Amino acid sequence: MSGSIGFGTVSHSDDSKEINYGISPRYGYFLNDFVAVGGRVGYDYLKRKNPAGEKVLENSTIIAGLFGRYYLFPGSKFSFFGELGLGFGSTKNINNHWTNGINAGISPGISYFLTEHFALEASFGMLSYNTVNPGGNSGSTDSFKVGIDMEDIQFGIILKF
């Protein structure tokens, strides 16, 4: 069991302000010492106000996804893993317009088991594909990414039952 929770604010140079928060619990099941599979759900919220205090942007996003992990050296304190993930997201904007997206990605990571049931982990984006469809007749936007970006590094805590 793991997950993420976050909160952030931004004050822009034009005196506009932005606030965002999100929560995304994850649950996985070890099929054996090497392989874990699981899923996650989540919610993200983003709001931006102009200098006059009027909302100019508001997005609410619901996220669901599945993942599979393969661990190398599962019996040692340090264990490297590769994760394959598939996710779906749906965002409602300030005009009540819905945008849907699908993503798939592969990311490497490392876990450090402090005890048999408690670990710290870090993972980083490596290879991903996203497609976003805003609905209507505008078509979809597809993106493909390879590489490591500091924004892609994620830290976590694992509780293994």
What would the pLDDT profile of 60-106 be if each residue is shown by its tens digit? 999 999 999 999 987 788 999 999 999 999 999 988 899 999 999 99
Residue the block writes with tokens 């876990």: 111
Mean pLDDT across the chain: 90
How large a percentage of the chain has pLDDT more than 70?
A: 99
What pLDDT sits at residue 136? Answer: 66
* 7-19: average pLDDT: 90
pLDDT of 15: 87
Distance from C-alpha of 60 to C-alpha of 55, rounded to nearest angstrom: 14
Residue 137 has pLDDT above 70, yes or no: no
For residue 140, the SS3 value is: coil
CATH code, 2-159 = 2.40.160
Q: Token match 């819905």: residue?
A: 98
pLDDT-derived band at 139, boundaries 50, 70, 90: confident
Contact 151, 107 (CB under 8 A): no
More confident residue, 126 or 48: 48
Answer positive or negative: Cα dihedral of 10, 11, 15, 20.
positive
Is the distance from CB of 57 to CB of 48 less than 8 angstroms?
yes
